[in-house]
Structure 1
Amino acid sequence: MASNIGIMDSAYFVGRNEILTWINNRLQLNLSRIEEAASGAVQCQMMDMTYPGVVPMHKVNFDAKTEYDMIQNYKILQEVFNKLKIEKPLEVNRLVKGRPLDNLEFLQWLKRYCDSVNGGIMNELDHLLNYNPVERRCKGGKVPKGSQKLSKSLQANNLGDPLGLSSTSGPKQGKTCAVAGATYYAGEVQALTKEMTDLKLSMDLLEKERDFYFGKLRDIEILCQTSELERIPMSVAIKKILYAADAKESALAKAQEYLDSVDVAEIDDEAKVEIEIEADQ
């Protein structure tokens, strides 16, 4: 889980435009600046989307302007974190100031966390198809100005049924809804497809890099196994590193200790060296 990702994690290299696109696409908002998410309401709804029903959306204030109202939203978010046992400190005093960098870092973390919970692109797409962000906001106590009009407009066009399949809607309403719903989700599918393509490209590059370095190590191993070199101290030391079984501890110190203990003048004792090699294997 990404609740304790380090500051050098790739999550913190995601740009603000990608973060804003992620927020706007999933919550059907139109944010143009990171600071617009400083109230904590967006973060609450992202958690609501990730864990449906866990966030008391009726308490979230999407029209929060004062620091007091914003702090109330973060209190709700902290309660959700506590309930889900998410160990992520909330720097509320810094976030409510609307500082772009502080809010960007938190949203970068939030994106990584939500992506890790959603369990992949196809699960995330299924999540989007079953979550109505506008409806969830409008069920809250306070919503942004214009949201109620937007909600009524969506209801009038039957967007509560994204594919226009409601049996109570007329042909015209169903057609309008189908077009609007299809347009929205087509954009989501396109964005997720691009993300999947980028991930596949990154994986291919990592595999090529892995194979390149594995080939280098294999060449070194073969060289150290040649009859002319396999018994000299440096070859033995290199094989100590190559064949070390403990992945958590570097074998370099052990190899260096071996080299320091070897008396080159006594290397002619072939049996002695063979015993050293066999003991390490």
Structure 2
Amino acid sequence: MQRAKRANELVAWVNRILNTNDVRTLDDLKSGVHLVQIIHSIDPDRFDLSRVDFRASNDYYFTRNLKLLQDVMEKLSIPNHFQLEGLMQGEKRNDLFGLVSYLKLHYPALKGRVNSKAALTYDPALQRKRAQEKRNAKHRPFRVAARSTAVTPAVSGVGA
């Protein structure tokens, strides 16, 4: 029962930090989207949030987001003692619970260590919106121009 209460506290913390209500359970974090944005809020100048696939819906895209998370955590010297597979399994494993617990505990110190204006004035909803717009603009499907249906007049015969 204590773990369930703690998990609910972690979910509430993520929603508060990211100014959202998208996260209902820890399982909602396994796509990596919210975790990457938490790290982005610590140091927004470190990487472009549009690299996140906000529509990630399967393990392939979860892995891409979580690899980005690993890379950025390494650049910020944040320990990442988790396995990607463990994070993708969500509440079935301790990795996700442990990572979010660590981030919640150390978030103020991590944010204070960077101490940039961008981090201090971070607006999570605005950052998400801009990142999604930028990503959508980069990944627009290529459209083939429609064929012309205009009828060309027939050429009349010689001597007509």
Which TM class, normalised by the smaller chain length? 0.5 to 0.7
Match 2:53 to one of 46, 57, 61: 61
**Deviation for aligned residue 1:127:** 8.3
What letter matches 1:104 in structure 2?
A: F
Higher relative contact order (CA 8 A, sep 6+): 2
**Deviation for aligned residue 1:101:** 4.5
Give the TM-score taking structure 2 as reference length.
0.68
What letter matches 1:57 in structure 2?
A: L
- Spell out, residue by residue over 1:169-192, the C-alpha distance to the aligned partner (whole angstroms, 9 max, x if none): xxxxxxxxxxxxxxxxxxxxxxxx
Partner of 1:132: 123
How well do the aligned residues superpose, as a CA RMSD in angstroms? 2.9
Task: Work out the CA distance in 2 between the residues paired with 1:64 and 1:142.
Answer: 15
**Deviation for aligned residue 1:99:** 2.8
**SS of equivalent to 1:112:** helix
- Spell out, residue by residue over 1:221-261, the C-alpha distance to the aligned partner (whole angstroms, 9 max, x if none): xxxxxxxxxxxxxxxxxxxxxxxxxxxxxxxxxxxxxxxxx
Partner of 1:118: 111
Correspondence 1:29 to 2:16: no
Task: Work out the CA distance in 2 between the residues paired with 1:57 and 1:100.
Answer: 28
Task: Work out the CA distance in 2 between the residues paired with 1:101 and 1:111.
Answer: 18
| 1:142 to 1:60, Cα distance in 2 relative to 1, 3 A | farther
| 1:139 to 1:127, Cα distance in 2 relative to 1, 3 A | closer
- Spell out, residue by residue over 1:114-168, the C-alpha distance to the aligned partner (whole angstroms, 9 max, x if none): 132234xxxx9x988711111111222489xxxxxxxxxxxxxxxxxxxxxxxxx
Give the gaps of 5 or more residues in structure 2: 135-160
Task: Work out the CA distance in 2 between the residues paired with 1:72 and 1:80.
Answer: 12
Match 2:7 to one of 16, 27, 40: 16
**Would the aligned equivalents of 2:49 and 2:131 in 1 still touch at CA under 8 Å?**
yes
- Spell out, residue by residue over 1:65-93, the C-alpha distance to the aligned partner (whole angstroms, 9 max, x if none): 10000000011111112212333223101
Correspondence 1:48 to 2:40: yes
What letter matches 2:73 in structure 1?
A: F
**Deviation for aligned residue 1:25:** 1.2
Number of aligned residue pairs: give it.
127
What letter matches 2:39 in structure 1?
A: M
- Spell out, residue by residue over 1:15-64, the C-alpha distance to the aligned partner (whole angstroms, 9 max, x if none): 11211111111212212111001111111111111112213201111221
**Deviation for aligned residue 1:113:** 2.4
Give the TM-score taking structure 1 as reference length.
0.40
Q: Percent identity?
A: 24
